[in-house]
């Protein structure tokens, strides 16, 4: 978290920061924009609120998840794998 706070501060100061993350909640919390890849292609690009949708998480990761908006940003809660995934 300390490193992500430093990177966020650098971005606010005008630096370009690129990070590869697999923790969706941390990505949503710290990123201004998300590039979501699926099988080597860009599935979605934009702010976390538009990229991380329940339907998109089901299609890309094969999971049932809740995407909840909280004061600190989005919280992505994986609930279960999809039965047909």
Q: What is the pLDDT of residues 50-78, one digit of tens each?
A: 999 999 999 999 999 999 998 878 999 98
Cα 83 to its chain centre, rounded Å, is 23
Residue 85 has pLDDT above 80, yes or no: no
User: Considering Cα of 27, then 29, then 31, then 35, what sign does the dihedral take?
Assistant: positive
pTM of the model: 0.83
pLDDT tens digits, 7-53: 999 999 999 999 999 999 999 999 999 999 999 999 999 999 999 99
Confidence of residue 83 (pLDDT cuts 50, 70, 90): confident
How many distinct helices (H) and strands (E) make up the chain?
4, 4
Q: CB-based contacts of 33: which residues, under 8 Å, 6+ apart?
A: 45, 46, 47
């Amino acid at each position: 978290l300390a490193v992500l706070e430093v990177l966020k501060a650098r971005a606010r100061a005008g630096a370009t920061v690129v990070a590869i993350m697999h923790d969706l909640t941390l990505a949503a919390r710290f990123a201004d924009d998300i590039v979501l890849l699926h099988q080597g292609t860009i599935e979605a690009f934009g702010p976390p609120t538009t990229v991380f949708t329940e339907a998109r998480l089901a299609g890309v990761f094969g999971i049932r998840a809740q995407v909840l908006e909280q004061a600190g940003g989005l919280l992505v809660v994986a609930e279960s794998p999809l039965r047909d995934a």
